Chains A and B, each alone.
Chain A
Amino acid sequence: MFESLGDRLQNALHKIKGYGKITEDNISDMMREIRLALLEADVNYKVVKEFTNTVKEKALGEEVASSINPGDLFVKIVKDELTELLGGESEPLNLKGNPALLMLVGLQGSGKTTTAGKLANFLRKKHSKKPLLVACDVYRPAAIDQLQQLGKQLNIEVYQEGKKDPVEIATNAISYAKENNYDYVLIDTAGRLHIDDELMDELDRIREKVNPEEILLVIDSMMGQDAINVITGFHDKLPLTGVILTKLDGDTRGGVALSVRHLTHVPIKFIGVSEKLDGLDSFDPERMAGRILGMGDIISLVEKATETIDEEEAEKTAKRMQQGKYDLEDFLSTMKQMKKLGPLENLIKMIPGAKKMGLTDVKIDPKQMAHIEAIVLSMTPKERRNPEIIKASRKTRIAAGSGTSVQEVNKLLQQFDQMKKMMKQVTNGNMKLPF
């Protein structure tokens, strides 16, 4: 629903075009677009302000290299800066304790219980150790039941004492974990408002008593400007060690990630990416930066491709490309693979910078694709491997065989030739990608 930053900047570019340098005068429109893009992504107002100032400082005086579009340069500065702000390396969990204690806190409905299940599952898989889930949400109806059901699905034990004092439950759970040789204890707490002193005190009492290695704030990625109050509210009362951002499988930009980092410097450790119990990923700052800016989702594109494309086949083709041996036989198999990916228009939209390249409005006629396929199929295998041998009489035959015209056969051969040249460039590393 929102325009990506790249698209926005295109609209503001006219001012900067023709200038050799980025100056105070010609970037005000650009800064406005950056600002709006970030606000639309729910980045905190104050963070946006500081951030745009930093970007401005970095951009001022920057040479607008003739080969690169100044808009691209700008987007790159913004994206790099964002990535840096979001934290370079992803920080691992501190699991030194025996058992290691992890406590999950957050507002109501942020996804603590589901995340607790996911995290236990993740830790068990990654370290092949034994986790214990502890039900300390004694307030919300059926919260204990929910955790127990998750435990059953995952085959992970859940410790619960019904609706007792959470501090006591947590303490008992740890003794239980020690006795029964559990390696990790994950404490699920009730959702609470950061301004609810009584309940915030309760969390602090649990912390005091059990002294967890990790206190993880679970936060909904769809959160708006109020995130600042929530994050600082929790952080002021509890020494947070990390943040887990949930529901990122929605279409939110997730600007809250930036607010978290900028305001608290607490690292984001995981992101929730599906409702399935393995839907927890490590946090990737660069990917997040791209998302906040609404840049194309090259990663989804790759994921989709790996899901459907026959890897062996693709590798073979890639090798032939590198060797400059890509021929019409390979082209045919590539086309078959592409068909499996679904409508090309959808794929194209995922390419970063697609709009700028004028690709988003491309309508690909499936008939046209069928014609191309027919032409290639009307060639003999020898012709496909050596397209240069196709001369007049062969062209007439191919055209007749495929129900097309010689012109169309010519066009295809020409385009194939161009494609081969382009591939050479790519594999030689001379091709500049837009981002």
Chain B
Amino acid sequence: MFKSTEEEEKEVPAVEEKEEVEDGHNPLAIDQEPVVLEEEKEIPEKKEKKGLFKKKEEEKKSVKVYEKGLTKSREGFVSRLANLTNKYAKVTEEYFEELEEILIMADIGVNTVMEFMDRLRDRVRKENITDPSLLKEIIVDELFIIYVNDEVLSNKLNYREEGPTIMMFVGVNGVGKTTTIAKLAHKMIDDGKKVLMVGADTFRAGAVEQLKEWSLKVGAGFYGKEESDPASVVYDGIELAKEEGYDVVLIDTAGRLQNKVNLMKELEKMNKVILEKAGGCDETLLVIDATTGQNGVSQAKAFKEITNITGIVLTKLDGTAKGGIVLAIKESVGVPVKYIGLGETKDDLQEFDIEKYIYGLFKDMM
């Protein structure tokens, strides 16, 4: 199962990158793609595998964008892991210590890493493994197990057959909720859906305006009112969606720190309105910034208590952050990642794939 992913990733021809970048180029967006591009091209195996190209157009594109963003976060992580296996002729205590460091530096929760290390040590002892290169596969395997935990995970979004599908986006301040909505709306519109964006972040200055600008850019409908009660904006938004026959309603909410009781209550109230007006949310997505450290677990726990979080969108993976906290979140709160954000343009959103994610991080040492 892992093998296929690996091939799929390698089969992407380097030439494809360029086209995509030019297509998706947005004059207002921060333009960093060219830098990434060069780095990508330098990965030799991409060119070598060019001739083996045989996957469907869609899939190619997905892996490619995914890898492009992860390249930066991967480089540090993978090269260190590769170093690690080269550096040590035998699996020693120093080897374990360095591995632990690498995992902690990826923000995979402290407890998760400690338990992982214990399990790995056990396995090495039982199976009498002394060669570090044999451990690579096991490490990936164990990380995979932490995340999947014998569950059937789907990152498909739930759509309603009749009436507008309601999706709400929640999270702390500055994680990228509004931008995520824009990207997702763009995807849905591409799939032929009629999308309404509802600006219920009536608190932050300029937030409603920000969403509105995005709605014009991606061609979505928009409803929002500044300085009014967010629950009433949600009410009116759903009303409008029903009247005008929208397929999907994407609700943007104000950023709120999870320990702010009043703001969390406000969220509860919005939920109530959605429940009464439309029978509840089909998706409540928690947006988490990949640079987030241990606090990510606290965020997931607190938001899950108030709303029925159905998935996570992990944003800003195009930086150097690895977003490893999602492994700890999945382990301790049970919420899986559905999408990842890899940049600031409307195309920089991909479905999350744990295999690709882990393999993306470890690719060069496989």
Contacts and interface: CB of A to CB of B under 8 A. Distances in A.
B147 interface: no
Contact of A226 (B30, B35, B114, B322): B322
Contacts of A142: 206-207, 209-210, 212-213
Contacts of A140: 210
Which of A111, A224, A229: most chain B CB closer than 10 A? A224
Interface in B290-322: 290-298, 301, 316, 318-322
B254 to A, nearest CB: 9
Contacts of A247: 172-174, 257
A143 B207 CA distance: 9
Nearest to A140: B210
A81 B344 CA distance: 41
B112 to A, nearest CB: 11
Interface stretch (B103-111, B186-194, B234-242, B352-360): B103-111
Contact of B295 (A147, A153, A251, A275): A251
Nearest to A228: B105
Contacts of A196: 30, 32, 35
Contacts of B29: 139
A2 B29 CA distance: 39
B17 interface: no
Given A141-B210, A193-B32, A199-B32, A227 B203 contact: no
Contacts of A41: 294
A42 B28 contact: no
Nearest to A2: B294
Contact of B319 (A45, A107, A141, A256): A107
B31 A146 contact: no
What class of interface size applies to chain B in its complex with A? 35 or more
Given A142-B206, A193-B32, 5 more contacts: A1-B298, A199-B30, A222-B293, A225-B293, A247-B257
Contact of B176 (A108, A111, A230): A108
B330 interface: no
Contact of A163 (B28, B31, B206): B28
B133 interface: no
Nearest to B254: A275
A368 B29 CA distance: 64
Interface string A218-252: 00101111110110010000000000000101111
A251 B258 contact: yes
Given A109-B175, A194-B320, A250 B258 contact: yes
A295 to B, nearest CB: 17
Interface residues of B: mostly helix, strand, loop or mixed? loop
B215 to A, nearest CB: 10
Contacts of B174: 108-111, 220, 247
A419 interface: no
Nearest to B227: A149
Nearest to A251: B259
Contact of B30 (A109, A148, A190, A227): A190
Interface in A162-218: 163, 190, 192-199
Interface string A128-169: 000000000001111101111110010000000001000000
Contacts of B101: 45
A231 B340 CA distance: 24
Interface residues of A: mostly helix, strand, loop or mixed? loop
A2 B174 CA distance: 24
6 smallest beta-carbon distances between A and B, as pairs: A224-B293, A146-B206, A109-B174, A149-B205, A42-B293, A142-B210
Interface residues of A, number: 55
Interface string B256-290: 01111000000000000000000000000000011
A193 B293 CA distance: 17
B320 A230 contact: yes
A39 B110 contact: yes
B103 to A, nearest CB: 10
Nearest to A41: B294
B325 interface: yes
B68 interface: no
Nearest to B109: A40
Contacts of A56: none
Which of A146, A225, A229: most chain B CB closer than 10 A? A225
A225 B106 CA distance: 7
A111 to B, nearest CB: 6
A228 B117 CA distance: 24
23 contacts: A2-B294, A40-B110, A107-B291, A109-B176, A139-B30, A142-B206, A142-B209, A148-B206, A192-B30, A194-B320, A196-B30, A222-B289, A224-B107, A224-B292, A225-B106, A226-B319, A226-B321, A227-B293, A229-B321, A249-B260, A250-B295, A255-B293, A256-B293
B11 to A, nearest CB: 27
Which of A110, A139, A226: most chain B CB closer than 10 A? A226
Contacts of A147: 205-206
Contacts of B325: 224
B30 A250 contact: no
A107 to B, nearest CB: 7
B214 interface: yes
A227 B301 contact: no
A98 B306 CA distance: 50
A195 B110 contact: no
Interface in A27-81: 36, 39-42, 45
A198 B38 CA distance: 14
